[in-house]
Amino acid sequence: MSCACGHHHNHSPPIVAAGEEIRLDRPLVAIAGQLICKDAAQMLLALDLLTEHAELSRAEPGNLRFDLAQAEDPLVWELSELYADEAAFQAHRDRLRDSRWGRESRGIDRALERKDVMPRIRAELRHDHQPVAELLTRAFDGPAEARLVDALRAAGDLALSLVAEAEGTVIGHVALSPLRAQGPALALAPLAVHPAVQLRGIGEALTRAALAGFEDHTIVVLGDPTYYGRFGFVPADLDSPYAGPHLMALGPRLPAGSRIAHAPAFARL
């Protein structure tokens, strides 16, 4: 992001190392460090090349984060990258060989470190609001779910909001919101994982973490019976606009045919 001073400053949220680690079959790959220009000519070259380089890197299917920030020393750029796994990182490196950045930036020094990373689950914080919205928009290929979570949050109807985070990057999210029902009940929705790391257990870990704190509640979900059946969800005989084979419940059984009502934000979906 460019400031009025002409520098590219880092406005990324802080890394919050907390919560339960998600053990993935393959770790994420994080790259961090500096690009160091020798003189003003190299700095101008970097300014010319880096916008395209960043856009192409972020467009890679295995890229989770690509942040650049010009340091107080304008000859130095701070770099932070995150990839879905080793294969995604190698695909990035392969693409660089034939790119403008790869061909023309060889004289710019690199001081970079690589580490393997496992994501962690933690409660949503204020600085997560925009990253959560961006994740939901990407995961659902549109803004409807992001608007839903924003509306639930604004109305005080987020009973729980958890994120899966790696190196300051939100890669998963799950929300619970109150239901009007004949007993304590919550709706699980939405559940989202970044497309680059779907089908690797992050959604399952988020779901189990969300359920763990509400064993005395009925949890209702609208989704794929095959997926949610693994957690113990079963078809729900409830009076709801969402009634049907995809409406499922877990926990204390509500009276058959009894009415449930989602938070008002759902009506605007």
Separation between Cα atoms, residue 165 and residue 11, nearest integer Å? 17
Predicted local distance difference test score (pLDDT) of residue 3: 40
**Of 108, 102, 103, 96, which is closest to residue 41 (Cα–Cα)?**
108
Mean pLDDT score of the chain, rounded to an integer? 93
Q: What proportion of the chain, given as a percentage, has pLDDT over 90? A: 91
Is the overall model pTM greater than 0.85, yes or no? yes
Predicted local distance difference test score (pLDDT) of residue 81: 98
pLDDT tier at 110 (50, 70, 90 boundaries)?
very high
pLDDT tier at 2 (50, 70, 90 boundaries)?
very low
Mean pLDDT lowest among 2-11, 72-81, 203-212, 248-257: 2-11
pLDDT tier at 8 (50, 70, 90 boundaries)?
very low
DSSP character at residue 240: S
pLDDT digits (tens, 9 = 90+) for 33-45: 999 999 999 999 9
Alpha-carbon distance values, 27 to 13, 51, 252 (Å): 22, 28, 37
pLDDT tier at 16 (50, 70, 90 boundaries)?
low
Domains of the chain (ranges; CATH) run 25-117 (3.30.70.100), 120-268 (3.40.630.30)
Whether residue 263 has pLDDT greater than 60: yes
Q: What proportion of the chain, given as a percentage, has pLDDT over 70? A: 93
Whether residue 258 has pLDDT greater than 60: yes
Predicted local distance difference test score (pLDDT) of residue 18: 62
Whether the CA torsion 245, 249, 250, 251 is positive or negative: it is negative
Alpha-carbon distance values, 43 to 8, 31, 116 (Å): 12, 21, 30
Q: Dig out the tokens for 27 from the structure.
A: 């770790």
Mean pLDDT in residue range 215-222: 96
Contacts of 163 (CB under 8 A, 6+ apart): 121, 122, 123, 124, 128, 131, 132, 170, 172, 173
